[in-house]
Amino acid sequence: MAIACLCPTLRYLNLSHCFFSGELQNADQLEPDFQQGHLLRMELMDMGTCRLDTLDLSGVYRMSIHTFIWILCRCPTLQNLRAYGSAVTLSAFLRACFIYCPELLVVKYSPARETAIITHPTINQRSILVRGRDLYSMNISKLTSLVLHGTVINKPLMEFVIDQCYQTIESLQLSKNWMLQNDTLYYLAKLQPPRLCSLVLSSCANFQADALVYLVRACPRIQSLRLSRATVAVTNESLYAILDALPHLKYLNVSHCPRLSMDALKFLQDHARAKRIRTVM
């Protein structure tokens, strides 16, 4: 990060699989106490900043929330953040992103194995103050692409994320999320994200066909839909409803969906050929 601050022309920094032997200088003073609602006062910090657009922190297994916020505070113009295999729990990760990097457009996250089973705390029980303002009155996030892979994100946290980015989100990937249930899909559908054109719900088995159909009908601009291994929601009836509801569909993946009959797959093949839809079955 010192290199990034000393090189004003640097736009991309890859720190993937780096090892931090200890905390960064004064990092412990930079963590907001999320539970109590206290956040650091940015204007009192004496720190350098950089002009990075893209940062890759994937596989940094020893990075604490202290270090993560120490880094984000120095990247106020960051637009692309990749953190696969992150040791920072999802709730803290997302709140830090929304607070300290308001220009973020793309966020990609998956948990490290040792944090994957953590049940993240409900975040709407207490206010989170940012320089005297409640987090929920902040400007809406500018996110256009969000990847949350292999997480255990709970319903309140997922609804918080949706509230922050539904107006701008274009690509939403929630693969391998075993806590993704009907309520979340209904909640997203009610907001009718106007720009959503790519949706990935692969390897999610806890939502039903009705919720899936309700969502796609609320998002008619979807062009790419990945439902591989969505073993409960993808049925013959939901497949017909999806094809009817998405006039702009260009890609559909329904591989490893055992509830689809041979007749439905044949119908999909013919429909895809006529509408020039790329399919994976």
| Residues 160-186: tens digit of each pLDDT | 889 989 999 999 999 998 889 999 999
Q: Tell whether 161 and 92 lie within a shared domain.
A: yes
- pTM of the predicted model, to two decimals? 0.84
Indicate whether 148 and 229 sit together in one domain.
Answer: no
Please check whether residues 164 and 225 belong to one and the same domain: no
In terms of domains, do 144 and 220 share one? Answer: no
Residues of the chain with confidence (pLDDT) below 50: 23, 28-47, 114-138
Q: Residue 250: which CATH number?
A: 3.80.10.10
Residue 28 located in a structural domain: no
Q: pLDDT digit string (tens) for 213-230?
A: 999 999 999 999 999 999
Would 26 be classed as within a structural domain?
no
Choose one of 169, 203, 226: the last residue of a domain.
169
Say whether both 55 and 163 belong to one domain.
yes
Number of domains making up the chain: 2
Tell whether 184 is covered by a domain. no
| Listed residues 169, 203, 235: the one ending a domain | 169
Residue 139 lies in a domain: yes
* Domain termination residue (choose one: 115, 136, 169): 169
Per-residue pLDDT at 60: 86
Per-residue confidence (pLDDT) for residue 10, from 0 to 100: 86
Report yes or no: 254 and 201 within 8 Å, Cβ to Cβ: no
pLDDT attached to residue 17: 85
**Judgement on whether residues 165 and 86 belong to the same structural domain of the protein:** yes
Same domain, 66 and 158: yes
The verdict on 143 and 61 lying in the same domain is yes
At 51 the pLDDT is 84
In sequence order, which ranges of the chain are alpha helices (DSSP H)?
A: 2-6, 65-73, 90-100, 155-165, 182-191, 209-218, 236-245, 262-275
The whole-angstrom separation of Cα 88 and Cα 66 is 9
Q: What is the pLDDT of residue 21?
A: 54
150, β-bridge pairs: none
Category of 33 on φ-ψ map: left (φ > 0), alpha (ψ -120 to 50) or beta: beta
Which pLDDT does position 71 carry in this prediction?
87
Q: Do residues 39 and 32 touch, judged by C-beta distance below 8 A?
A: yes
Query: 74 lies in a domain?
Result: yes
101 and 161 both lie in a single domain = yes
How far out from the chain centre does Cα 67 lie? 21
CB 52 within 8 A of CB 71: no
Residue 31 is assigned to a structural domain of this protein: no
**134 has which bridge partners?**
129
161 plus 207 within the same structural domain: no
Question: Which range of residues forms the domain containing residue 257?
Answer: 193-281
**Quick one: which of 9, 22, 106 has its CA closest to 66?**
22
Torsion of CA 122, 125, 129, 132, to 10 degrees: 160
State residue 173's pLDDT score: 96
Domain assignment of residue 187, yes or no: no
Q: Residue type at 96? A: A
Q: What's residue 70's pLDDT?
A: 83
What's residue 153's pLDDT?
80
Residue type, 272: A
Instruction: Answer yes or no: is 106 within a domain.
Output: yes
